[in-house]
Amino acid sequence: MTTDPATAAATSGANAPTPFGVRLRAAMDAHGPLAVGIDPHRALLESWDLPVDVSGLERFAMTCVEAFAGRVAVVKPQSAFFEVFGSRGVAVLERVLGDLRDAGTLTILDAKRGDIGSTMAAYAQASLSDEGPGRADALTLSPFLGYGSLRPALDLAAATGRGVFVLALTSNPEGPLVQHADAGGRSVAASVVDGATADNAPAAARGELGHVGLVVGATVGDAVARLGLDLAASAAPLLAPGLGAQGAGPADLRTVFGDAARNVLPNVSRSVLAAGPSVTALAEAAAREAEAVRAAV
């Protein structure tokens, strides 16, 4: 079997794990900058003529794994759509993550964890340690108990060669009420970017992407510029939801992200998953999206 560039990067060091940012850049260069979601919610299961139960969940998820493994830079399962089926659903999620890991395809577990102290440490151990049964290559985090509350996950990710993506400017309409609010002369979003910039400084000095990514919606318009967020200097990989069904197109990426566009990893779900249940159609839809993004940035 041909070794995926991300897998090759991960095993290149004799002792320390290769940093997540290096692996992510290799995967984006090889397959195009795209994260494809696995979002098995009721409407999609029904559109694929699958039962809304664990058997339908498994058929949906494993079809996606077959379509995307080795073909896209990143796959992003949404944890909630597996958790809703209880322990058997979580077992399917663990299988998805394991099969993608075996195929050398990077994963972002979209769970938006956020807590303090030992609870945050436990979330980190579950998803970012080498022993966690539900471990992924990266985990989404919510910083709204304070960026510093994420320290257990930030540090464990760095130690294990994994990454995190911290919510900064999201694409939902309620987001600006919190994210644009003043926090001692800087917006809340700016304080999150400041934290990521500090944590990514060693990677930036090496000319690499850092292990602390940011979630910035492709639909936020001029908010990045208006809030004075220097995303290009942050060395953060930028997970950008909002492409496709939420209204943003590839051309918006350059407008929103400017000089940081090369670090953007757009996330698409519905516009690709609607091509199922054909494995071939799913793979072709993902390839078209990746090529469109590559051309735009």
Catalytic positions are: 112
Neighbours of 224 (CB within 10 A): 23
Whole-number CA gyration radius for the chain: 18
In terms of Cβ atoms closer than 10 Å to its own Cβ (0-12, 13-18, 19+), residue 196 is buried
Q: Which two tokens stand for residue 164?
A: 């995190």
Q: Which two tokens stand for residue 178?
A: 């919190």
SS3 219: coil
SS3 3: coil
Measured between alpha carbons, how far is 272 from 152 in angstroms, rounded to an integer?
A: 34
Cα torsion 153, 134, 240, 181: sign: negative
Measured between alpha carbons, how far is 174 from 223 in angstroms, rounded to an integer?
A: 14
In terms of Cβ atoms closer than 10 Å to its own Cβ (0-12, 13-18, 19+), residue 207 is exposed
Q: Which two tokens stand for residue 79?
A: 């944890």
Q: Which two tokens stand for residue 231?
A: 């995303």
- Residues 6 or more apart in contact with residue 45 via CB below 8 angstroms: 51, 52, 56, 57, 60
- Residues 6 or more apart in contact with residue 76 via CB below 8 angstroms: 35, 36, 37, 38, 107, 108, 109, 110, 267, 269
